[in-house]
């Protein structure tokens, strides 16, 4: 099962300067990334159901308050979209109904997805593994709260892949990708395992990329996005069965 977060706070989608702008039939960076993710993941999701959330927006459900987690289809009790087509339809509609707004906060949606993953550990859903993709143009504003949420998420059948979109300096985001040492929460609780991968889109997609063809760029991006996922799945199975 996959989760997608596809709205960030980088300006009105109707403006050419926005990363959400629709250039006729040309896909914007968010749509390009979503389609690449779908190409890789669709065969691992038999139901084709995708939970999709937006974050960093005003206008829903309260007009003057920034919402850091809302169902992209505006169905809070059923935020599931059918396949990538359903996600894109919800995304295009949502981008017209809400006003994109900062700051960038990941913790609310991470906690939501963590709970869904934990709820799946028993009953007919047992054995499922979940992947949360976060597509963002901004630096997370609440790193300590985010680390707390990630530490808790490390005890669920879940991986989190964060994709930085645009020209922001994403150096600070590397701290969430605990390749060298496991994250710690503010209460000094250590993550059970590494579950985060961070990838910067512009290294693969723009014209300055070292990869010459569009196909080569997409393949390289896919490899980077999913580089750590197999090991993270194995680490969950080991944790689940008490293997150190």
**Residue showing tokens 């974050």:** 55
Q: Which domain holds residue 114?
A: 2-240
b/e map 151-172, b = 16+ CB within 10 Å: bbbbbbbbbbbbbbbbebebee
Question: What confidence tier does 210 reach under pLDDT thresholds 50, 70, 90?
Answer: low
**Rounded percentage of the chain residues whose pLDDT exceeds 70:** 90
Number of folded domains in the chain?
1
pLDDT at 183 over 80: yes
Which CATH number characterizes residue 60's domain? 3.40.50.410
User: What's the pLDDT score for residue 158?
Assistant: 96
Q: What is the pLDDT of residues 84-113, one digit of tens each?
A: 999 999 999 998 888 888 788 999 999 999
Model pTM greater than 0.75?
yes
């Amino acid at each position: 099962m996959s989760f997608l977060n596809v709205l960030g706070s980088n300006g009105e989608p109707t403006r050419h300067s926005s990363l959400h702008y629709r250039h006729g039939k040309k896909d914007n960076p968010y749509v390009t990334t979503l389609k690449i993710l779908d190409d890789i993941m669709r065969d691992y999701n038999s139901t084709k159901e995708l939970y999709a959330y937006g974050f960093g927006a005003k206008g829903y459900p309260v007009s003057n308050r920034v919402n850091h987690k809302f169902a992209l289809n505006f169905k809070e009790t059923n935020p599931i979209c059918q396949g990538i087509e359903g996600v894109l339809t919800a995304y295009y509609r949502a981008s017209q109904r809400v006003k994109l707004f900062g700051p960038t906060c990941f913790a609310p949606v991470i906690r939501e997805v963590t709970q869904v993953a934990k709820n799946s550990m028993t009953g007919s859903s047992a054995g499922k593994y979940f992947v949360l993709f976060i597509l963002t143009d901004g630096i997370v504003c609440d790193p300590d709260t985010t680390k707390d949420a990630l530490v808790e998420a490390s005890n669920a059948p879940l991986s989190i892949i964060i994709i930085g979109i645009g020209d922001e300096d994403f150096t600070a985001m590397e701290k969430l990708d605990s390749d060298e040492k496991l994250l710690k929460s503010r209460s000094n609780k250590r993550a059970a395992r590494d579950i985060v991968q961070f990838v910067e889109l512009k290294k693969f997609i723009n014209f300055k990329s070292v990869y010459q063809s569009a196909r080569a760029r997409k393949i390289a991006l896919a490899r980077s996005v999913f580089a750590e996922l197999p090991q993270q799945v194995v680490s969950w199975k080991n944790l689940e069965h008490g293997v150190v």
